[in-house]
Structure 1
């Protein structure tokens, strides 16, 4: 399904508004998100909203064995592009999982119940297995799926809440 640039921008803005209205956002001090690529929901507005609210933003850096660590993203952060085209931090303070309050979890598709289809690497599922903070996914209407659209793997980790431009599910 394709979406016009204007509709996409409207949906993304509505999702950021819904996100910042949640109690999980309002009580969080450290928020994890990704450095989005062109086909993903844009995360720059999430970062800007967090900075305006005096929150700390952390973004992932990948390592061998499909591991991730999250580093602070601020005006001092330098990035390099991975072989997959993802921008990752090369400096900044490391934030362990127990210091992250809220994680905005990316994905290709989501169900209303929190089931998530990722990008195939398993990085987030591995990280979320030991993450005890709140998890929220932001899904445009074209990313919503029915519960039976894909097989669930044993290591898949659901998100606690899925926000959509049409509603939220937790």
Structure 2
């Protein structure tokens, strides 16, 4: 299957679940994330505010903040680029590109300080290859940041035996899906 065919398949699979069912499925994924030594030991974590059809992350963001972690979130600034901003709390969020909650603060430019990146995807394979929504935001952003431990997260129905990958695709170090 091509990436576009796989994306279409994932969209069909997601439609079989309500938003509440997806939120419930997210609980075990978040629990496993919090048990990872890479997450426990990290000082700065790049995360994302979830869309309704993605692994729900707001509870995770709150928990990591309570643990004293510095949280940075992506902000889409154009059709091809995103930047990071520090998460200061829910009052600091506004609706940005694609109706995604984004922090309003200053740009976070110390990407060398990021220990862990928790990345969404439309699908992953067992080798850690990731398929996003097709815009390449994360692949461009993560290119050259080999020091960051990359964790892909998704629902079990988003795991495939193989996803087509090329030299521009950045693989994950681990994928958590249940």
Residue 87 of structure 1 deviates from its aligned partner by 2.4
Residue correspondence of structure 1 range 105-144 to structure 2 within 5 A: 105-131=119-145, 132-144=147-159
Aligned residues: 163
1:146 equivalenced with 2:161 (yes/no): yes
Q: Could you tell me which runs of 5 or more consecutive residues in structure 1 were left unpaired when the two chains were aligned.
A: 166-170
Give the superposed CA RMSD.
Answer: 2.0
Q: Could you tell me which runs of 5 or more consecutive residues in structure 2 were left unpaired when the two chains were aligned.
A: 1-12
C-alpha separation in 1, matches of 2:87 and 2:20:
28
Structure-2 residue corresponding to 1:61: 75
The Cα offsets for residues 69-112 of structure 1, whole Å up to 9 and x where unpaired, read as 21110237633333422222221461422011110011111112
Match of 1:78 among 79, 88, 92: 92
C-alpha separation in 1, matches of 2:171 and 2:103:
26
Q: 1:92 to 1:25 in 2, by over 3 A?
A: same
The normalised TM-score by structure 1 is 0.85
The normalised TM-score by structure 2 is 0.82
Classify the secondary structure of the residue corresponding to 1:66: coil
Q: 1:73 to 1:111 in 2, by over 3 A?
A: same
More helix by share: 2
Which stretch of the first structure deviates more once superposed, 80-89 or 114-123?
Answer: 80-89
Q: 1:70 to 1:49 in 2, by over 3 A?
A: same
Does structure 2 retain, via aligned residues, the 8 Å contact 1:77–1:92?
no
C-alpha separation in 2, matches of 1:69 and 1:121:
15
Residue 142 of structure 1 deviates from its aligned partner by 1.3
Structure-1 residue corresponding to 2:22: 8
Segments of 4+ moved more than 6 angstroms: none
Structure-2 residue corresponding to 1:168: none
